[in-house]
């Protein structure tokens, strides 16, 4: 998982204007975002091979490799990443297929920025919860030690 100080987002969108808008909006939103944009599933897989991302936003309709195929491939290489699918051509069947492949959320275009921002925040929260669950003994997650006094005054856990 990326460093707790950096929230890394990979945006896979072949529409340059939307890709640029999303990247700039996230970078303006918070100092701890690192945003990488690519225009195809193949480029996404190259980026995923070199670094870990907490959240991936992918269009469903991409050149060469569909967003659904990408979701399946991402689950294999970075299973902890949360994937948000976006499309202008969504229907209930497409949503069901995307979720079955491992999409965390599905958003129809066009959307206001706050809709995707909120989905990304929920996705990063889910990444952190999953990391905490995987390592329950981490120092900042350790349960408090409870001590009780017995009849003799000795303390025991």
Tokens found for residue 104: 């965390």
pLDDT digits (tens, 9 = 90+) for 107-129: 999 999 999 999 999 999 999 99
CA distances to 33, 51, 59, 97, 135 from 4, in Å:
11, 14, 26, 31, 14
Q: Are 13 and 23 in contact (CB under 8 A)?
A: no
Place domain 7-135 in its CATH homologous superfamily.
Answer: Response regulator (3.40.50.2300)
* 3-class SS string, 64-76: CCCHHHHHHHHHH
| pTM exceeds 0.85 for this model | no
Q: Beta strand 7-12 with 55-59: parallel, antiparallel or unpaired?
A: parallel
pLDDT category, 139, cuts 50, 70, 90?
A: very low
């Amino acid at each position: 998982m990326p460093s707790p100080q950096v929230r890394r987002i990979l945006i896979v969108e072949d529409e340059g204007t939307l890709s640029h808008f999303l990247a700039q909006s996230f970078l303006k939103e918070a100092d701890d975002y690192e945003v990488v944009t690519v225009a195809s599933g193949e480029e996404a897989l190259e980026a995923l091979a070199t670094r870990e991302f907490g959240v991936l936003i992918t269009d469903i309709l991409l050149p060469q490799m569909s967003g659904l195929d990408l979701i399946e491939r991402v689950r294999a290489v970075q299973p902890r990443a949360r994937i948000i699918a976006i499309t202008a051509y969504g229907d209930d069947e497409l949503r069901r297929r995307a979720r079955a492949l491992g999409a965390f959320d599905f958003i129809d275009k066009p959307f206001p920025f706050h809709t995707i921002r909120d989905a990304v925040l929920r996705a990063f929260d889910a990444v952190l919860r999953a990391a905490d669950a995987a390592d329950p003994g981490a120092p900042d997650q350790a349960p408090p030690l409870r001590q009780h006094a017995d009849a003799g005054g000795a303390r025991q856990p």
